[in-house]
Amino acid sequence: MSEILTVNVPLAEAAGQPGAGPYSVWIGDGLMAHVGEKIRPLHRGSKVAVVTDSNVAPIYGDVVMNSLRDVGLEPTLVVVEAGEASKRMEIVSQVIDAMIAAGLDRKSMLVALGGGVVGDLAGFVAAIYYRGIPYVQMPTTVVSQVDSSVGGKTGVNAAGGKNLIGAFHHPALVLADTAALRTLPDREFNEGVAEIIKHAAIRDPGMLDILDPAQRDGLADLMARNVSIKARIVAADERETTGERALLNFGHTVGHGIEQAAGYGEFLHGEAVSIGLCAALRLSVEKAGLPETEAARVVAALEAFQLPTRIPAGLTTDAIMAALLRDKKFESGQVRFVLLEQLGSAFVSGAVTLDDVRAVIEGLRAA
């Protein structure tokens, strides 16, 4: 196992409540085979549910199951179909039924092994199973390692919108094995970089200078840099009550609208966010004075990773706007839109109107 970096998420203590309190994010090559020894000190029982998907299970399922058995734990593997379609209540029920059948109780633990879909789904199961059991995130994609595994947001989609059913439930530990990133197809690797570019735009523009589409090794430092950004923002506004955490939604308002309007699976999450970032950059230039050169720098980074920056002609503005209006980032019909004054300086604006959003969507149409 290579050198392991650790980032702490310094949440307030909450004794006796699973999914509350500070935790650590471990980042480095080779963690997958050591999950048993890492979580054994955290686990008061013996049974563990390992929730994963049909893509990840054949690659890492045996490694994780064997590591858990080696320390005397009794793991049960629960496999769901890969893809966004598994983030729905029907699959939540199926996972819970499998856990009940395996005899897991309130002293049991769950391991979420996979990308953002698995982490969101399994985290939500952990939040509601026996009114909350501890769980460990083992993210296997770029987007899940730098973003979705940290922060405690769990949930599934409803017919009316993305992530509308969920709970705040923080993991007891996050183990991000960067070796897993080397096995990702280019498209899945690149879509995760959209979240890195988002973090660079709102807090750390220097990351734009070190991103390299050809680099798959030695990524622990970059992952840790992103996790540190996420951890600081989450610690400052754990449950989105002060507005600080809303900064992480930069690019996501329009991005989620595109993702839903196109039909889940048409765009990967990061691809939709990439277009949403372009919309947010244009609005930042118009409404917040972001220099055109700085907006162009971010767009160039997206294009370097072959991420989309235009809306396909077949996806109507009306469909995107209808989906956007159902998004949970609206409060009393008003959107909280994150803008940039300059790279690294983000804020939540109330000056963006629906007409502004419609116009920027139209302006992003593919020629």
CA Rg value for the chain: 20
Residue 218, judged by CB atoms within 10 A of its CB (0-12, 13-18, 19+), counts as exposed
Q: Are strands 109-114 and 47-53 parallel, antiparallel or unpaired?
A: parallel
Specify the pLDDT at position 91. 98
Residue with tokens 């500070």: 22
Specify the pLDDT at position 331. 57
Specify the pLDDT at position 19. 61
Chain centroid, CA 154 distance in Å = 10
Beta partners for residue 118, in sequence order: none
Q: What are the structure tokens assigned to 30, written together?
A: 């080779």
Ranges under pLDDT 70 in the chain:
1, 13-20, 328-334, 366-367
Task: List, in order, residues 6 or more apart from 68 with CB less than 8 Å away.
Answer: 35, 36, 39, 48, 50, 75, 111
- Calculate the dihedral angle through the C-alpha atoms of 113, 115, 118, 119, rounding to the nearest 10 degrees: 80
Specify the pLDDT at position 16. 53
Q: What are the structure tokens assigned to 81, written together?
A: 């179909």
pTM of the complete model beyond 0.85: yes
Specify the pLDDT at position 240. 82
> What is the distance between the alpha carbons of residues 200 and 297, in angstroms, rounded to a whole number?
11
Q: Are strands 23-28 and 5-9 parallel, antiparallel or unpaired?
A: antiparallel
- CA distance to 52, 121, 127, 148, 343, per residue, from 81 (Å): 9, 12, 21, 19, 39
Specify the pLDDT at position 329. 61
Task: List, in order, residues 6 or more apart from 204 with CB less than 8 Å away.
Answer: 225, 229, 344
Helices 269-288, 354-363: axis angle to 10 degrees equals: 120
> What is the distance between the alpha carbons of residues 26 and 11, in angstroms, rounded to a whole number?
16
Q: Which domains does the chain have, with CATH numbers?
A: 5-183 (3.40.50.1970), 186-363 (1.20.1090.10)
In sign, the C-alpha dihedral spanning 198, 204, 207, 208 is positive
Specify the pLDDT at position 332. 55
Q: What are the structure tokens assigned to 223, written together?
A: 């992952």
User: Which three-class secondary structure state does DSSP give residue 294?
Assistant: helix
CB 56 within 8 A of CB 80: no
